[in-house]
Structure 1
Amino acid sequence: MNFLKRAGLSLLAHRIRTLVMLATFVAISTMVLGGVLIEGGTARAEDAAARRIGADVTLGVDMDSLVAGGQMQAPQISADIIDKIGTSPLVEAYNYDSFNGARLRGGTRLTGKSMDPSIEGYTLAMGVRDSRLMPDFSSGKWQLLAGRPLTDADRNSNGILIEERLARKNDLTPGDKITLADNDGKRTAEFTVRGVYRDPSDQPDPEYMQFPGDRLIVTASALSALDGATGPVELRGATFKLKDPASFKEFEAHAQKQAGAALEGFTLDINDKALKQMTGPLAAVSSAATVAMWLIGLAGAAILALLIALAVKQRRREYGVLLAMGERRWKLIAQQAAEIVAVAALAIGLSSLVAEPLTQRAGAALLNSEAADAKRKLDAWEPPPPGSTGLDQGYDPDDQPVEGADPIDEITVRLDNGALATVAGTGLVIALLATAVPGASVLRFNPRTILTKGT
């Protein structure tokens, strides 16, 4: 009789044993498929978050090399070079980083104290290419109340953004003029108010002691001209928003090629803090699902091997008769494999019907728990005392949460052909492993001994 036919008859004849193996395999397949679905769901959620927020690469001064070289002045880099780097197709957008002291003239008054008590109206002006890319604007911490942001279209104009407290105190609105003097007070220039924004902070900057209501945001070219520069705009650094955080190494090579020696004294660092903050719970759930999947797969293989070993022991007389009739040993092993593969195929089919809804509920519960814990830790963070950086009190600036980057607490699992293929392959491996050890004992069977002594 064909061994495949015998396998089918054996499964029907030993219904209890078949049902036990089927139930075991359904449980294993459902759990393994659940792990695959959770991995797929978290991966899609991470990719979506990465595409949505990108990643900021900061070009800044290498302070270690600056101190080691004994230099007193930080290097600067030309805006022309930054523009070349920013043309990369890997870059979604980029911004300049520059700042300098400025003096309010023409009767415009500060909302707080001057940064230098000996200089009237002395405050800090920040030079940008696109104000929308400033971290506090992009995160939603600062809000534009009136007018419009500064963009690259304002590159050759004296545009300025002012905080609402400065606007209110001096009765300024978009379109009005404001006069600034440079850091030394030797040159002056007239600026046009492009917009009024709101900074909810009421504490002075701990490094420069500038009141947030007195912060000025101007175009980098205008700030450079106010400072007396006549050549290309020199910057202290820049920020590049990548389309894909995974392309950082490729972008770094592009920047080195475009800038060459101009990058000496600077470092390129990727700030994917917001992405990590959002996807932390996803990583925890995915890791737990992967570990559980492996443990269940190995445990399932061991359980099935034990069940098959018991079945082989119970079927010794059957195998003895077949061997005595001239049946080859490899066909007996093939019969065992065919039986377990048939059960595995049916189990995978049944598990595919229930795994998706069960995994969706289980995954949502796990992720909600992880996200809630992460959110509590973020909410528990407190800034250092006013007027202090907090570094001498153990505060780590890297611990400060990124606003607007709440941990992801939802995933959508999706059963597709790829997931089924993965589980089918895993089920086949488990089936073969479970058959291998008991099957080896069949090779040692002696039909005469089995039939005469029953052992």
Structure 2
Amino acid sequence: MNFVKRAGLSLWARRGRTLLTLAAFLVISVMVLAGILINDATARAERSARRSVGAEVRLDVDLGATTNTAGGLQAPRIDAATVDALGALPQVRRYTYSMWDRALLKGRYKLVGTGASGSGNDANGMGPGGTASVGVLDSSLLPDFRSGRFTLLSGAHLTAADKNKKRVLIEERLARKNRLRVGDRLPLTGNDEKTTAEFTVAGVYRDPRPRSEPEPEYGVSPADMLYGTVGGLSALDPQNGHGKAPLRVGGASFLLRDADDEAAFESGARKLAGAQLDGFGLDTNDKAVRQMTGPLRSIRSTATVAMWLMGLAGAAVLALLVNLAVKQRRPEYGVLLAMGERKGRLIAQQALEILVLAALALGVSALCAPALTQSAGQSLLGREAAAAKHRLDSWQAPPPGSTGLGEGVDREDEPVENADPIDRITVRLDAAELTTVGVLGLGIGLLATALPASAVLRLSPRSILTKGQ
């Protein structure tokens, strides 16, 4: 009799065992497929998050590289031309750099964060009429604008086209106090208190922080912060020769075309700039991405562990069922071998029976696993995202003027705005996932069949019949 026909008759004659084996295969297929589908769905969601946020690489000063000078600590600076060359690398979509110094308001123009005496002294130590002025190449790439923390209320951002123009962005409270609007002229005096230039108000933005809370990096009231063009503000800076010497900046930010270009960009930057990067570090700003994808990584690890545990347990049960079935069929094998049937065809018959059941289990799992995985994965992700959101909402900033170390506050845990944890995934069954599950299921089935069958078929027909009795 053809061994294919024998396999079909055997499956029908032993319907109880067939259903039990099919159930074991179905559990393996569903669990493995669910794990693969969750891994694939979370990977797609993570890639989407990385692309939506963008990969940002910051060129920041290494705090250990500051040097002591007669005027105090001096941080290293880098030529703007070098940063422009780095910004021209193929991995970079947009870039900006910055420099900062003290700027003074004169005449009728007053700061918002003044002392109670009304003397015009900045409450945070910048001196009479002094505030922090930050020169930028592209203000839209500043972290606070990119995250949505700052809002541009009127006017336009500073861009590379404005590099050598005298243009500034001012906070709405400073604009309101001095009755300034977009297009008005604002005179600024440099840190030497001698050099003065008129700047055009290019835009008015909103900083949600209270005026009494000092800006942590520059120590002035947030309402008094100025953002200007690098070329315009360098004209007020004696260190840059009042705009006549080559422009040198204290940091830069590069927005890459793709999050996967980080390594290539860093390699190209170090090769291009060489020793000019001494005193600086290239750091990837992926905090927003990590905050958004934390729940995804959690359920991915949970799904992977569950997949392996259930898969291994199902494989063990399957191997036990096949081993018992082969031992029960030793008399059948002995008769067939005594009649001249080849051992290879007997093994092929047993393997065919397993392959048929595996194919059925795979088909059923392909129909039900996506819906079950979507429901279970979404429920699990929802709980993880809610817990992550609760942790972010419960974070408390340290008191104004404090680093938070004395209060046990870790600034590294400070939430990134507009980067809520992802709470939704979309499960999608592709041919690649189905093929992977099919290969794994068939491999487990063949392995479970080959080991007990080979042990039995090493015996002679007479020994099989004797032991079978």
Q: TM-score category by the smaller chain?
A: over 0.9
- The structural deviation recorded for 1:296 is 2.0
Report the counterpart of residue 336 of structure 2 in structure 1: 322
- The structural deviation recorded for 1:440 is 2.7
Report the counterpart of residue 402 of structure 1 in structure 2: 416
- Residues 266 and 115 of structure 1: CA distance in aligned 2, closer, same or farther (over 3 Å): farther
Report the counterpart of residue 431 of structure 1 in structure 2: 445
1:179 pairs with 170, 179, 187, which one? 187
For the 8 Å contact 1:95–1:129, the answer to whether it is kept is yes
For the 8 Å contact 1:320–1:445, the answer to whether it is kept is no
Report the counterpart of residue 300 of structure 2 in structure 1: 286
For the 8 Å contact 2:327–2:456, the answer to whether it is kept is no
1:217 pairs with 223, 227, 240, which one? 227
**Equivalent residues in 2 for 1:203-352, closer than 5 Å:** 203-206=213-216, 208-227=218-237, 228-352=242-366
For the 8 Å contact 1:46–1:279, the answer to whether it is kept is yes
- Residues 147 and 439 of structure 1: CA distance in aligned 2, closer, same or farther (over 3 Å): same
Report the counterpart of residue 30 of structure 1 in structure 2: 30
Report the counterpart of residue 79 of structure 2 in structure 1: 78
Residue-by-residue CA offset, 1:33-68 (whole Å, 9 max, x unaligned): 111111111111111111111121110111224479
Identity of aligned residues (%): 57
Normalized against structure 2, the TM-score is what?
0.93
SS at match of 1:161: strand
- Residues 67 and 283 of structure 1: CA distance in aligned 2, closer, same or farther (over 3 Å): farther
> What are the ranges of 5 or more consecutive residues in structure 1 without an aligned counterpart?
none
**Equivalent residues in 2 for 1:112-123, closer than 5 Å:** 112-113=113-114, 114=122, 119-123=127-131
Report the Cα distance in structure 1 between the residues aligned to 2:195 and 2:67, rounded to whole angstroms.
32
- Does 1:191 find its partner at 2:199? yes
Report the Cα distance in structure 2 between the residues aligned to 1:453 and 1:417, rounded to whole angstroms.
46
For the 8 Å contact 1:103–1:121, the answer to whether it is kept is yes
For the 8 Å contact 2:124–2:220, the answer to whether it is kept is no
Report the Cα distance in structure 1 between the residues aligned to 2:234 and 2:365, rounded to whole angstroms.
67
Residue-by-residue CA offset, 1:379-427 (whole Å, 9 max, x unaligned): 1111111121223443322111111111111111111111111111111
Report the Cα distance in structure 1 between the residues aligned to 2:281 and 2:125, rounded to whole angstroms.
35
For the 8 Å contact 1:111–1:166, the answer to whether it is kept is yes
For the 8 Å contact 2:102–2:133, the answer to whether it is kept is yes
SS at match of 2:243: coil
Report the Cα distance in structure 2 between the residues aligned to 1:368 and 1:117, rounded to whole angstroms.
47
Report the counterpart of residue 454 of structure 1 in structure 2: 468
Report the counterpart of residue 368 of structure 1 in structure 2: 382
Report the Cα distance in structure 2 between the residues aligned to 1:177 and 1:106, rounded to whole angstroms.
13
SS at match of 1:411: coil
Report the counterpart of residue 110 of structure 1 in structure 2: 111
CA-atom RMSD in angstroms: 1.9
Normalized against structure 1, the TM-score is what?
0.96
Report the Cα distance in structure 2 between the residues aligned to 1:284 and 1:135, rounded to whole angstroms.
27
> Aligned AA for 2:420?
D
Residue-by-residue CA offset, 1:171-197 (whole Å, 9 max, x unaligned): 111011100000120100000001111
Report the Cα distance in structure 1 between the residues aligned to 2:113 and 2:68, rounded to whole angstroms.
38
> Aligned AA for 2:11?
L
For the 8 Å contact 1:204–1:387, the answer to whether it is kept is yes
> Aligned AA for 2:340?
G
SS at match of 2:397: coil
- The structural deviation recorded for 1:116 is 6.4
**Equivalent residues in 2 for 1:347-358, closer than 5 Å:** 347-358=361-372
For the 8 Å contact 1:297–1:430, the answer to whether it is kept is no
Q: Which segment is superposed worse, 418-427 or 324-333?
A: 324-333
- The structural deviation recorded for 1:5 is 2.3
1:420 pairs with 434, 438, 448, which one? 434
Report the Cα distance in structure 2 between the residues aligned to 1:123 and 1:321, rounded to whole angstroms.
99
**Equivalent residues in 2 for 1:62-101, closer than 5 Å:** 62-66=62-66, 72-101=73-102
Residue-by-residue CA offset, 1:97-116 (whole Å, 9 max, x unaligned): 21100100231000012156
Report the Cα distance in structure 1 between the residues aligned to 2:244 and 2:168, rounded to whole angstroms.
20
> What are the ranges of 5 or more consecutive residues in structure 2 without an aligned counterpart?
115-121
- Residues 72 and 401 of structure 1: CA distance in aligned 2, closer, same or farther (over 3 Å): same
Report the counterpart of residue 15 of structure 2 in structure 1: 15
For the 8 Å contact 1:106–1:178, the answer to whether it is kept is no
SS at match of 1:101: strand
For the 8 Å contact 1:224–1:233, the answer to whether it is kept is yes
- Report how many aligned residue pairs link the two structures: 455
Q: Which segment is superposed worse, 18-27 or 420-429?
A: 18-27
For the 8 Å contact 1:245–1:272, the answer to whether it is kept is no
SS at match of 1:120: coil
